[in-house]
Structures are given as structure tokens and as C-alpha cells.
Structure 1
Amino acid sequence: MLFDYFEKEGILYTTEYEIVKEKSKDWSFTSPILRKINKVADAVVFPRSEEDIIKIVEFAIENHIPLIPRGSGYGTVGGLIPLKGGIIVDMSGLSGIIEEDEDTITVYSGTKFYEKGKLIFNPRVYPTIYQKASIGGYFSGGSWGIGSFMFGPNWDQVVEIKMVNPRAKIISLKGGDIKIAAHAEGTTGIVTRLKILKLNESFIPQLLLFDTFSEAIKFIQKIYDTLPEVYHITLRSQK
């Protein structure tokens, strides 16, 4: 079989239809146009290292198979839809903090912003769906979010990235070159790690729960009356 290569290399994968179908979807069902496109990939792979990704890209090059990188799958513009089949590269297994200093944190791209009831660290900008989103998926498919009115789009918060390019080589991008991969939906390469600026500790993200909508509105009004230093407020329903 074509995918025996992954078994030989110890790379997790599946061709089980229901799993592949689920991994071939994102939130583009919110679009009356994109939700009509029902395409399913041929397989899903679950890399656990940058070496796995290099092997996956080499395999795809040799066999002329499209690759579709997937973060947490919460994009809304259809970037995840496998229009020509191919392989979904699920990045969720490549996660974790690599190193951290006073101003930056370096993480693998599958790392989620939020786990166990709190943000993993204080990013300067993060998506409004931070409870679900992964860092690499947000960088590759998003742009603005919580904090962006003060600090700018998400790629302005990134000091350096590493990615596996379409020739199966790991490259490092810094400065203006970072935009080669930003918001590119994985078309310029598969991002494997990001070095991101952290938020000053004086700004602490908080999640507050209210029993009623009116209580939430009264709280927001009180904030504006007392004028503390707040850089972003998002009001969301739990449903």
C-alpha cells in the first residue's frame, strides 16, 4: 500500500474514513458558499517531531500528493478543505514549550493557547477562540485577535519561526521574512516552532463568568466608570 511508508518510518497515520472526514473540516460551514464544498482527504498523519514532518514532505514530493497542515481546525475561510484530496497533517502532537525568557517564549506549533482552565502563557495577541486554537494554526491562518488593537496583527508578535519548506528542508525566518509564512495557510511551508513576544506582566488575561447578560453589561459599564487600564474586552456566550 502507498502509506506503508509511514508504518516503516514509525509515523502515526489513519485512513479510517470517519476520522479523515472529521479532520477534513474546519469552521467554514459558517459560510453559505464554503459549506457546500464537501471534500475529504485520503489520509491523516500525526507527526510528533520535526523529523516526522520532513519525512512526510519528502513522501509527498516523491508521490505528488497534496499536503494540508491542520492546527486545531477553527479556521473560517476554508484553508483546511482538501480540494484535491491528499494528506491532512495534524500538528496537535507537536506541542510543548521549548524555552522561555523574560520577553519571549518558544513553542512547537501544535501548542494550544489555553489548557486546564488558563492560558499557557501571556501572549500579546491571541484569538478570541483561544480556548480551542493552537499557536501555529493561528499564525498560519489568523491575523487579528485579542490585543491586536494595541500591538498589531499576530505576525508582529513573532520574533522567529522554523518551518519545513516545500523542498523538505528546515528553514528559519526572522524579521520581515516571517510574513512569508504568516497567514499563508501552510502553502509556503509547515511551521514547526515559533518564538513569540510575551505580554508585560501588568496585563493579565482573565476569564470572567456571569449568570446573566445584564450582569455582564453592568460589569463592563463599571469598568469604564472606574477607567482601569484594559486593552481588550470580549463578551461571549457559552452556547
Structure 2
Amino acid sequence: MNYNDLFNIIEDKERVKLGSEIGDKYLSDALNRDKGKAEALVFAVNTEEVSKVMKLAYENNIPVTPRGAGTGLVGATVPHKSGIILDLSLMNNILEMDENTFTVTVEPGLHLVQLQKFVEDRGFFYPPDPGEKNASIGGNISTNAGGMRAVKYGVTRNYVMGLEVVLADGSVLNLGGKVIKNSSGLDMKDLIIGSEGTLGIITKAILKIIPKPQRTVSALISFNSLKEGIDTVIKIIKKNANPTAIEFMEKDVIENAERFLELKFPCSTGNAYILLTFDGDEEFEIENNCKKVEEAALKNNALEFILLREKEDIERTWRIRGALVTAVEAVSEQEPIDIVVPIDRSADFIAYTKEAEREFGIKISSFGHAGDGNVHLCVIRNGMEEKLWNEKSKLLLEALYKKGHQLKGLPSGEHGIGLHKRPYFMEITDKINIEYMRRIKRVFDEKGILNPGKSYS
């Protein structure tokens, strides 16, 4: 293929980069460890351009790697099969807000933080809240991003009502819409969600929004051990206290984030913490739910229960929580993991990480979404010599993913599989499941040009 043909598709020549003109950041992801190669980088601004690029790639059997904000952590945007990088970051408009159907229609390059601010300024609420607020909506949909509020509100999939998708051959599909119910044939929209750009390229999304809760408070609970904290979570959920978020953190990772941000966490007692948020419209209901949680925690050996009412205290505490991974990255290379297990097996998995830490001699920091069993780990290099780090971390990761599988868990709760997790995913996933995933891909992408080699493909 002559990549100069792309200039016939893209009117603004500055939006096409060839060969050495492609910046390094477009060849990697947020971790910037694996670097791929590409012959062309295209910045599309509308569905028509995306369709034309895909038709050209399809006719010439050229791999295409879709890309949004580049905040991913699993190598899904690394163009390791070369070809074209199709960047959607300039497709970042809010196209419509329809208050009568409680929907907002957006382009895929819009950042989550921009969407949340837009709807909240108008009295509405978009609940999905993954840690990286500058991720693109297209990326959130492609990984079915979850985040901290999933325990009450669910994940991205629960808020995607309709999609416009460009397929590998340039065809355009319109899936779903503004309707609440759909029992009309196969729901292909749900296949696209979480497919990491392997089935089609999202060019438009119709998202559900809800009225904005009028009140929010947070609570911080300290424990001597993380196991006590995790065990308490089940009791909290059984109390029907309806928390918006339930997060768990170990003291060492909090202290690291405090140093990184130069901020003070509201509590210093104990070795582990549970952080919760409650929202709603009735102050009495929120207060009652907080009391239920406090009673359950104190009965389970909690050291301290701190209710955070002031906006400044809440924002500071959640800012520290949001910086845990960034703070680790600032001092050491680390491998991020987001294994998800059944809620009642979270404590078992965390206990195993302590055994693995001692066995392999590699530091592991734990935090995550206690309300849905999504355990986040930082496997920290800590200056270990490169050859030894590569050998030992590989064995450690294999052991962690194997243990997660034994506990009836899955390799990823929200980051996706991409390139980095693919070996572990392939090892523990039933072969028949992989085969059917690949059959579905062949229907959508018979030539296998869309984000090849990622996840199951």
C-alpha cells in the first residue's frame, strides 16, 4: 500500500503523519514500556473519515490500531503489528443532551472528566467513575471501565444505550438508541462494549444519565489488618447501607501517596483502611446508612470511624486514593494488576498476595474496590536488577493470575486484557471460550485487521 493515499482521505494534511513523523507516545500507552511500530498515524475528525480509512486498510490488508486518550495500562494501543494508528482524540464533542430521555450523545474522544462536569453543571449525573478521569469515553466503553462507584451504580456497560460503530471494511452500524428496553434480536451493542477495539471502532455513543444526587458524605474506617477490613465489607453490604463506593487500601501505599501529593490523610491509626461514600437526596437516609456502617465496623474490630462531611476533606481524601498508582510509578517501575474475584474471596486473594510477596521477594501493594471484589495490586520493582526482575516478576504474575482463577475470579475487572495480560488470559481461559470469541471476530473482521494480537485475538 502507498500510505500517501491517506492524504486523499484526510483534507487537513497535518492530521496525517508518516514514518518518522509519528511521535513516540503514539507507539505506546500510559506505561510507556512497550513500543510498537507504525507506517502512518491518522487523526480522524468524523465518522466519514474513519470509514474511509478503514475501507482503505481493508482493501490493502493493513492492520489498524485505534487510539483515544492513551491512558490504558495493558498495551491495547501499542501497534505491534505495524500499519495505521487511527487516533480519535479530536472527535471529542458533546453532540446532544436530551433531558427528556435522560441521555447524552458524545463522540469517543471526549474525556470522562469533561462529560461528568458538563452533565453535573446541568443537574445530572454520569455514574461510571474509573480512576483515570482523563480517559476517553471511547476507551471507557472499549474496556467496560468500572471504577469506584460500581458497587451502587454499576459499570460503563450499564450506561451505554446506543453506539455508532465503524467496522473493519468501513461499514457503519447503528446499535441501540434512546430506548430503555430492547428485545429486538441480538444486542450487538453489548459485543462491542469491552471488545478493546477488536470488533469495530466506536464513533458515537448515546449514554444514560440520571438526576444528580443532592448530598454526598464519605467515611473512613481504620483496622489493624486488611483482612479485618475486607471481612467487614460483606457485613456492610448485608446491612443494606447502600454505599456509593467501598474502597480498601493498605497503610504503606497511602503513606506513599501522601508524600507524592504532599497532602495529609485524615487517619494514621491502624494498618489498613476502608473508604466509603454515600450519596442521595435525603439527609436522614444518608445519616442512617452511615450509622449502619459504623455499627458493623466497630463490631468487627475497627479502630476508628471518621465521618467526612466537609467538601475539602472529602476531596483531599479521594485525591489521595486516586493517586495511589501514580505515586508508586513516581518512585519505581511497577506492574499494575486488576484481578477480580467473588466478593467473599477478596480476603483470601489478598492473603495469598502476602504469601507471594514473601516467596518471590517482590513488594506488592494492595488497594481496590472492596464492594465488587476488584483487587488492584502494584507489583513493585524497587531497584531490582533488570534480568532478575523480568524473571521473578513473570513467575509472580503467573502465580497471581493462577490463584485468581482458582478463586473463581477473572484476570481483569476494568483495565482490559490488551497485549500485556494476553498470555495469562489465554492460559486460564477455557479454549472453547477463546474459539467462540475468535469466531465472533471473524464475523465482524474477517481479515483480522482491527487491533490484531490483543486480548483474545
TM-score of the superposition, structure 2-length normalised? 0.44
SS at match of 2:189: helix
Distance 1:200 1:146, change over 3 A: farther
Query: How many pairs were matched up?
Result: 221
Structure 2: give runs of 5+ residues left out of the alignment.
120-124, 177-181, 218-260, 270-274, 277-305, 310-317, 328-457
**Which residue is equivalent to 1:195?**
206
Give the share of equivalent positions with the same residue, in percent.
Answer: 25
**Which residue is equivalent to 1:222?**
307
State whether residues 20 and 41 of structure 1, in contact with CA within 8 Å, keep that contact through their aligned partners in structure 2.
no
2:169 aligned to which of 159, 167, 170:
167
Distance 1:216 1:82, change over 3 A: farther
**Which residue is equivalent to 1:124?**
127
Give the CA deviation at 1:89: 0.7
**Which residue is equivalent to 1:8?**
8
For residues 92 and 123 of structure 1, the distance between their equivalents in structure 2, rounded to whole angstroms, comes to 20
SS at match of 2:73: coil
1:17 aligned to which of 12, 17, 20:
20
- Structure 1 segment 2-151 matched on structure 2, within 5 A: 2-9=2-9, 10=11, 12-15=15-18, 17=20, 19-29=22-32, 35=33, 37-102=34-99, 103-115=102-114, 119-121=117-119, 122-130=125-133, 132-151=134-153
For residues 91 and 7 of structure 2, the distance between their equivalents in structure 1, rounded to whole angstroms, comes to 18
2:160 aligned to which of 126, 148, 158:
158
Q: Name the larger-Rg structure.
A: 2
Give the CA deviation at 1:196: 0.6
For residues 113 and 148 of structure 1, the distance between their equivalents in structure 2, rounded to whole angstroms, comes to 15
SS at match of 2:57: helix
Deviates more, 1:173-182 or 1:151-160: 173-182
For residues 31 and 189 of structure 2, the distance between their equivalents in structure 1, rounded to whole angstroms, comes to 26
**Which residue is equivalent to 1:236?**
322
State whether residues 159 and 196 of structure 1, in contact with CA within 8 Å, keep that contact through their aligned partners in structure 2.
yes
SS at match of 2:130: coil
Give the CA deviation at 1:128: 1.1
CA RMSD of aligned residues (A): 3.0
Tell me, yes or no, if structure 1 residue 183 matches structure 2 residue 194.
Answer: yes
Structure 1: give runs of 5+ residues left out of the alignment.
30-34, 225-232
State whether residues 69 and 186 of structure 1, in contact with CA within 8 Å, keep that contact through their aligned partners in structure 2.
yes
SS at match of 2:202: strand
Give the CA deviation at 1:105: 0.3
TM-score of the superposition, structure 1-length normalised? 0.81
SS at match of 1:171: strand
Richer in helix (by share): 2
Distance 1:203 1:42, change over 3 A: farther
